[in-house]
């Protein structure tokens, strides 16, 4: 029987779906596993072991973790998508459900596609259950009580039993499962054997009690993941900051950005500690709140340090006043914003791209900032590194906007490249420079015509090195003034500086075909969904061109891209179409009506279907 699988009207794929008694055609390396468990039960460790085991087989993986904002007790879901093409976006349909939470059992069952597999606790009621899926009931609780002797670890190790069952169902080699365990417990080698024993319980139960009744199977691949590693975006950004020369980090914990600074601390312990004296070569300070954290970072940046902070939406709200100070007084600082659902507290553990417009203009008055928009884990590393160069070069705050999906999930990525270029500290006058100038300089005087002025650092040994940094009105020589003309000149120069930056920031990545008249614009973690959506649309006879935005202010290339197309869709993960609005503001009037908006804002990582469906409907392409 051939079934055409669709999601809300958009074509996903056509696949041979088999009844449990008709396993005649296998589905190999193309499936989505979803583990429905309870937060705080240790399931994340089991899920990561499974992820690493499959990755070790050479098969591309795309894990997504959906967890509650409490510490323990509420439902959590872990989706592990496997595709030979290496698709990284979330899937709307589940092939294999691991049902470990009775509270969500019936709801979780509805997510499984027809012909799928359900591995569930044997005690769960199957009354009125679906008849179009294959069930593998396993007495997980009984097995844990009888096979796991350690009372303290029984709750956590019970999850490892389902890893063994899944390994049996999908044919994962024991060597791969063992690798997954050893890799997950690199820092705790004593935990390896007890976890392997628990996995063996599930593996043996599968072999002793079931015969294969479903079409799903995993087989080792070659050439798909070679040279790639699994890294979270926050890990990558922390490593990038380290490579970018950060010497001061002030922060306040907040989900989903905390792990960025936690990783920076861990990397600093390894790579920023003097081996002979044990002295730290970096200062990491946990402030009393986000406003204080940014204030500390700005002070350090003013003193010449490469300084940063990391936060999420509520923290960005608190940082508005200090952001304006750093912009107007022209102090370099890097601010990482790992976006989550708002407004207010919102949904702290759900993803979003709704801080873009806010961060771009953060502060009262006429303020516009440099904003970097990494779309991959590799770019989290690169932009996390280069942000410090931009901050120093343009003497201004630089925002790096990631999100929970990109920041806290594992992504396949090429190995990072060690930086080869020297740091760009920008226009800093030394003692020798001041002597050459005979002390004739002005802190806010533009002598090069690019809007960027020269600065000195505290401690420069010259009588003319000092100046007063202020957030109030000042002239070209940093003197206090309320002159209307001086204020207007200063603001015009700041705008000109941003125009200079526009042409120096990461350019959009454009992928065009010769004949398409329809384009897509996206940014950040939406990129993975766009890649898959374009493949699906092309297979359906609709080629769509693509521009991936990587920085604000918006590049001139965006207008050129829009001018080459009849219709351009801006896909983003917020309700109001924030980048859609920014794009239209940057266009000449005759191009504005060509732009349309596609928005996804339920907190779940955007799937390809959320792009293909509205675009297909609006372009009137038959599904």
Note whether residue 542 is domain-resident. yes
Query: CA-CA distance, 116 to 97, in Å (whole number)?
Result: 8
Domain count, the chain: 4
Domain boundary among 161, 191, 226: 226
User: Is pLDDT of 2 > 50?
Assistant: no
139, 31 contact by CB (below 8 A): no
The token duo for 521 is 């614009």
User: Is pLDDT of 255 > 60?
Assistant: yes
Instruction: Report the alpha-carbon angle 115-603-82, nearest 5.
Output: 40
Residue-wise pLDDT tens digits, 408-467: 999 999 999 999 999 999 999 999 999 999 999 999 999 999 999 999 999 999 999 999
Note whether residue 367 is domain-resident. yes
Residue with tokens 């100038």: 437
Together in a domain, 377 and 489: no
Identify the pLDDT of residue 506. Answer: 98
Q: Name every residue whose Cβ is closer than 8 Å to that of residue 275 and which is 6 or more positions away in sequence.
A: none
Together in a domain, 285 and 406: yes
Q: What is the mean pLDDT of the chain?
A: 93
Together in a domain, 486 and 448: yes
Note whether residue 537 is domain-resident. yes
Residue with tokens 């019936």: 106
Q: Name every residue whose Cβ is closer than 8 Å to that of residue 492 and which is 6 or more positions away in sequence.
A: none
DSSP 122-161: TTS--TT--SSSEEEEE-HHHHHHHH---TTTHHHHHHHH
Q: How would residue 13 be classed by pLDDT, with cut points 50, 70 and 90?
A: very low
Question: What percentage of the chain carries pLDDT values higher than 70?
Answer: 95
User: Is pLDDT of 623 > 50?
Assistant: no
Q: What is the mean pLDDT of residues 285-292?
A: 97
Q: What is the mean pLDDT of residues 383-400?
A: 98
Between 496 and 25, residue with greater pLDDT: 496
Signed CA dihedral, 526, 532, 533, 534: sign only? positive
User: Is pLDDT of 160 > 50?
Assistant: yes
Instruction: Collect contacts of 175-178 with beta carbons under 8 A, ≥24 apart.
Output: 176/53, 176/54, 176/56, 176/57, 177/49, 177/53, 177/203
Q: What is the mean pLDDT of residues 90-111?
A: 94
DSSP conformational letter for 273: B
Q: How would residue 23 be classed by pLDDT, with cut points 50, 70 and 90?
A: low
Q: How would residue 129 be classed by pLDDT, with cut points 50, 70 and 90?
A: confident
User: Is pLDDT of 5 > 80?
Assistant: no
Domain boundary among 166, 199, 226: 226
Q: How would residue 1 be classed by pLDDT, with cut points 50, 70 and 90?
A: very low
118, 136 contact by CB (below 8 A): yes
Together in a domain, 152 and 301: no
Question: What percentage of the chain carries pLDDT values higher than 90?
Answer: 89
Note whether residue 70 is domain-resident. yes
Together in a domain, 453 and 572: no
Together in a domain, 450 and 397: no
Of 359, 350, 336, nearest in space to 408 by CA: 350
Together in a domain, 143 and 267: no
Residue 598, domain CATH: 3.40.50.920
CA distances (Å), origin 372, targets 25, 335, 391, 398, 489: 47, 10, 11, 7, 27
Query: CA-CA distance, 109 to 94, in Å (whole number)?
Result: 9
Domain boundary among 184, 210, 226: 226
Helix (H) / strand (E) element for 95: namely: strand 94-99
Between 125 and 392, residue with greater pLDDT: 392
Instruction: Report the alpha-carbon angle 232-238-243, nearest 5.
Output: 125
User: Is pLDDT of 8 > 80?
Assistant: no
Note whether residue 316 is domain-resident. yes
Identify the pLDDT of residue 165. Answer: 97
DSSP 584-620: HHHS-GGGGGGEEEEE--SSSPPBTHHHHHHHHHHHT
Burial of 508 (0-12, 13-18, 19+ CB in 10 A): buried
Burial of 116 (0-12, 13-18, 19+ CB in 10 A): buried
Q: Which residues pair with 38 in a beta bridge?
A: 75
Together in a domain, 468 and 528: no
Burial of 190 (0-12, 13-18, 19+ CB in 10 A): exposed
371, 338 contact by CB (below 8 A): no
248, 297 contact by CB (below 8 A): yes
Identify the pLDDT of residue 150. Answer: 79
Together in a domain, 255 and 347: yes
Q: What is the mean pLDDT of residues 353-367?
A: 98
Note whether residue 6 is domain-resident. no
Together in a domain, 481 and 354: no
- Characterize the bridge pairing of strands 228-232 and 410-414: antiparallel
Query: CA-CA distance, 432 to 430, in Å (whole number)?
Result: 5
User: Is pLDDT of 278 > 50?
Assistant: yes
10: preceding bond cis by omega (within 30 degrees): no
Identify the pLDDT of residue 71. Answer: 67
What range does the domain containing 252 cover?
231-414
Together in a domain, 489 and 372: no
Neighbours of 223 (CB within 10 A): 7
Distance from the first to the final alpha carbon of the chain? 20
95, 105 contact by CB (below 8 A): no
Q: How would residue 377 be classed by pLDDT, with cut points 50, 70 and 90?
A: very high
Note whether residue 567 is domain-resident. yes
Query: CA-CA distance, 345 to 333, in Å (whole number)?
Result: 26
Residue 304, domain CATH: 3.40.50.970
Residue-wise pLDDT tens digits, 192-240: 999 999 999 999 999 999 999 999 999 999 999 999 999 999 999 999 9
Together in a domain, 444 and 477: yes
Residue-wise pLDDT tens digits, 163-189: 999 999 999 999 999 999 999 999 999
Q: Name every residue whose Cβ is closer than 8 Å to that of residue 268 and which is 6 or more positions away in sequence.
A: 242, 280, 281, 282, 284
Identify the pLDDT of residue 11. Answer: 34
Give the total residue count for the chain. Answer: 623
Q: Which residues pair with 510 in a beta bridge?
A: 547
Note whether residue 392 is domain-resident. yes
The token duo for 262 is 């936690």
User: Is pLDDT of 14 > 50?
Assistant: no
Q: What is the dihedral of CA 180, 183, 188, 194, to 10 degrees?
A: 20
């Amino acid at each position: 029987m051939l079934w055409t699988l669709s999601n809300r009207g958009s074509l996903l794929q056509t696949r041979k779906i088999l009844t449990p008694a008709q396993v005649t055609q296998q589905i190999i390396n193309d499936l989505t596993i979803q583990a429905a468990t309870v937060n705080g039960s240790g399931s994340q460790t089991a899920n990561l072991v499974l992820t690493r085991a499959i990755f070790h087989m050479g098969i591309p993986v795309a894990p997504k973790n959906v967890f509650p904002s409490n510490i323990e007790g509420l439902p959590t879901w872990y989706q592990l998508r496997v595709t030979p093409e290496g698709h990284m976006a979330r899937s709307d349909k589940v092939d294999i459900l691991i049902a470990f939470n009775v509270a969500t059992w019936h709801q979780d069952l509805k997510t499984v596609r027809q012909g799928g597999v359900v591995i569930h606790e044997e005690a769960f009621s199957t009354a009125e259950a679906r008849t179009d899926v294959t069930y593998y009931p396993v007495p997980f609780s009984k097995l844990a009580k009888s096979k796991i002797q350690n009372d303290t670890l029984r709750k956590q190790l019970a999850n490892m039993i389902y890893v063994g069952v899944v390994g049996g169902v999908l044919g994962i080699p024991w060597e791969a499962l063992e690798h997954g365990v050893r890799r997950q417990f690199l820092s705790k080698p004593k935990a390896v054997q007890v976890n392997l024993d628990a996995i063996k319980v599930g593996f043996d139960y599968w072999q002793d009690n079931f015969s294969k009744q479903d079409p799903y199977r995993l087989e080792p691949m070659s050439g798909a993941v070679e040279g790639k590693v699994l890294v979270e975006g926050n890990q990558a950004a922390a490593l990038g900051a380290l490579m970018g020369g950060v010497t001061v980090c002030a922060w306040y914990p907040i989900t989903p950005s905390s792990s960025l600074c936690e990783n920076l601390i861990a990397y600093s312990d390894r790579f920023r500690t003097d081996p002979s004296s044990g002295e730290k070569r970096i200062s990491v300070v946990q402030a009393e709140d986000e406003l204080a954290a940014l204030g500390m970072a700005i002070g350090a940046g003013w003193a010449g340090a490469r300084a940063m902070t990391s936060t999420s939406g509520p923290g960005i709200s608190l940082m508005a006043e200090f952001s304006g100070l750093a912009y107007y007084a022209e102090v370099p600082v890097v601010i990482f914003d790992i976006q989550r659902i708002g407004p207010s507290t919102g949904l702290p553990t759900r993803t979003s791209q709704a801080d873009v417009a806010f961060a771009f203009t953060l502060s009262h008055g006429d303020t516009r900032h440099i904003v970097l928009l990494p779309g991959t884990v590799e770019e989290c590393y690169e932009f996390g590194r280069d942000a410090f160069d931009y901050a120093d070069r343009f003497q201004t705050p630089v925002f790096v906007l990631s999100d929970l999906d990109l920041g806290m999930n594992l992504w396949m990525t090429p190995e990072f490249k060690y930086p080869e270029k020297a740091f760009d500290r920008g226009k800093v006058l030394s003692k020798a420079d001041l002597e050459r100038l005979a002390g004739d300089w002005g802190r806010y005087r533009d002598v090069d015509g690019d809007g960027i002025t020269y600065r000195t650092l505290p401690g420069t040994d010259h009588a003319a090195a000092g100046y007063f940094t202020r957030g109030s009105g000042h002239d070209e020589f940093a003197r206090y003034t309320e002159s209307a003309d001086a204020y207007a000149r200063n603001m015009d120069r700041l705008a000109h500086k941003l125009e200079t930056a526009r042409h120096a920031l990461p350019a959009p990545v454009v992928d065009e075909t010769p004949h398409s008249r329809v384009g897509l614009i996206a940014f950040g973690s939406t990129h993975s969904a766009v890649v898959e959506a374009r493949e699906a649309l092309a297979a359906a006879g609709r080629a769509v061109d693509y521009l991936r935005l990587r920085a604000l202010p918006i590049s001139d290339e965006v207008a050129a891209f829009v001018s080459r197309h009849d219709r351009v869709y801006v896909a983003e993960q917020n309700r109001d179409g924030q980048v859609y609005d920014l794009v239209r503001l940057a266009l000449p009037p005759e191009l504005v009506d060509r732009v349309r908006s596609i928005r996804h804002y339920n907190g779940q990582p955007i799937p390809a279907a959320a792009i293909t469906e509205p675009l297909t409907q609006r372009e009137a392409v038959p599904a």
